């Protein structure tokens, strides 16, 4: 009898679905993948129920790719369940790794988010102060929906994670590399960040760099500039997150003449990507007049959103605001 095929699971928590799409973009490679593994859980594409996972033995799944952040109690419950049932748990994509776009909600508290959605959004008419309730009694019994948390967590803030594969989404060739790594059985060191290169995007970016004494008097937003495809964005007064972002994506944005947004997260050795980016950008200004300086700073419309577009939930900012989350298995 042939050896049993490795069991693979893919799950999505608080995410947009882009990570799922990137897996389907494997195209014909996905077909060959399906021949090499048993997909035992993939609610986005195949018909499985949570009860199917609950019925599994602990550690029965060989590798689980978990994308999405932890926003609700359902996300958290599934994180724990899949952790228990999986031998290897991979935080797949930026949401699971560092919070990504859902993590930007950490700029606000839960009530102000709900108030926006249910009361003050322009599309909401005649607010009645409606709020979701988590438990409701009907004649047939009690209906419960998941709780909306006060903040967004990363997967590793919730359960123990074996590997991290950043990217919004991880680019398809890296996804294929990652699958092949697991299939080969030659696993990287536990806790490793996979599907990435060691340095930052500037290391691989072919654009012409700025020269000595280059200074910025204004930051411009990409849509307001006719961008030169051969010169470093910073020398065109456009903020590029490339200097503070781990390489590995193959520069799809930069090749498309758009600055890097930073989705591959901080490079090795950097604790806080946003703070480092800010430090690099701030180093380029030049003026002795406080008023001009203030005007230059004003040209960065949303500093937190720019610097922490993908990493807010995993940032020092979030940790300072909410305190460090201590996982149950770490107590």
* Residues that bind other proteins in the complex, under the rule CB under 8 A: 106-109, 199-203, 209-215, 232, 234, 242-244, 247, 267-272, 274-290, 293-294, 296-297, 300, 302-305, 307-308, 316-317, 319-323
Q: How far is the CB of 267 from other proteins (least distance, A)?
A: 6
**Strand stretches in the chain, DSSP E:** 7-12, 38-41, 61-67, 70-72, 86-92, 135-138, 141-144, 148-153, 163-165
Task: Output 122 or 290, the one with its CB closest to other proteins.
Answer: 290
Q: How far is the CB of 16 from other proteins (least distance, A)?
A: 23
Q: How far is the CB of 141 from other proteins (least distance, A)?
A: 36
Residue 162 main-chain phi, psi, to 5 deg? -90, -40
Rg (CA), the chain: 22
Task: Output 85 or 246, the one with its CB closest to other proteins.
Answer: 246
CA distances to 7, 91, 196, 250 from 173, in Å: 21, 17, 11, 9
Q: How far is the CB of 265 from other proteins (least distance, A)?
A: 12
Task: Output 38 or 111, the one with its CB closest to other proteins.
Answer: 111
Tracing tokens 């590793």 back to the chain, one arrives at 156
Length of the chain, in residues: 331
Q: How far is the CB of 274 from other proteins (least distance, A)?
A: 8
Task: Output 44 or 258, the one with its CB closest to other proteins.
Answer: 258
Helices (H) and strands (E) counted in the chain, each on its own, are 14, 9
Q: What residues does 8 pair with on adjacent strands?
A: 39, 63
Three-state DSSP at 297 gives helix
Q: How far is the CB of 219 from other proteins (least distance, A)?
A: 11
Q: Whole-angstrom Cα distance, residue 50 to residue 75?
A: 12
């Amino acid at each position: 009898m042939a050896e049993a095929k490795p069991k693979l699971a893919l799950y999505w928590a608080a995410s947009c679905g882009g990570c799922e799409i990137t897996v389907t973009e494997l195209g014909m490679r996905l077909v060959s993948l399906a021949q090499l593994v048993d997909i035992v859980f993939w609610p986005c594409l195949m018909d499985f129920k949570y009860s199917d996972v609950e019925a599994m033995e602990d550690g029965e799944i060989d590798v689980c790719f978990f994308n999405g952040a932890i926003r609700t109690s359902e996300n958290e419950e599934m994180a724990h369940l899949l952790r228990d049932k999986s031998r290897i748990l991979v935080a797949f994509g930026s949401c699971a790794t560092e919070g990504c776009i859902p993590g930007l909600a950490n700029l606000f508290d839960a009530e102000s988010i709900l108030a926006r959605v249910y009361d003050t959004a322009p599309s909401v008419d005649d607010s009645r102060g409606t709020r979701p309730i988590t438990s409701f009694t009907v004649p047939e019994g009690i209906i419960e929906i998941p709780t909306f948390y006060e903040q967004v967590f990363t997967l590793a803030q919730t359960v123990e994670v074996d590997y991290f594969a950043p990217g919004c989404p991880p680019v398809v060739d890296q996804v294929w590399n990652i699958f092949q790594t697991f299939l080969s059985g030659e696993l990287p060191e536990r806790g490793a960040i996979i599907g990435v290169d060691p340095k930052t995007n500037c290391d691989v970016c072919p654009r012409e760099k700025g020269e000595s004494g280059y200074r910025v008097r204004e930051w411009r937003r990409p849509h307001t500039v006719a961008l030169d495809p051969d010169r470093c964005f910073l020398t065109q007064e456009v903020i590029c997150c490339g200097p503070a972002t781990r390489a590995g994506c193959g520069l799809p944005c930069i090749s498309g003449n758009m600055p890097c947004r930073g989705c591959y997260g901080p490079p090795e050795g950097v604790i806080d990507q946003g703070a480092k980016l800010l430090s690099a950008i701030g180093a380029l200004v030049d003026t002795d007049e406080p008023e001009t300086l203030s005007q230059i700073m004003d040209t960065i419309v949303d500093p937190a959103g720019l610097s922490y577009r993908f990493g807010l939930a995993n940032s020092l900012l979030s940790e300072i605001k909410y305190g460090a989350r201590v996982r149950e298995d770490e107590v």
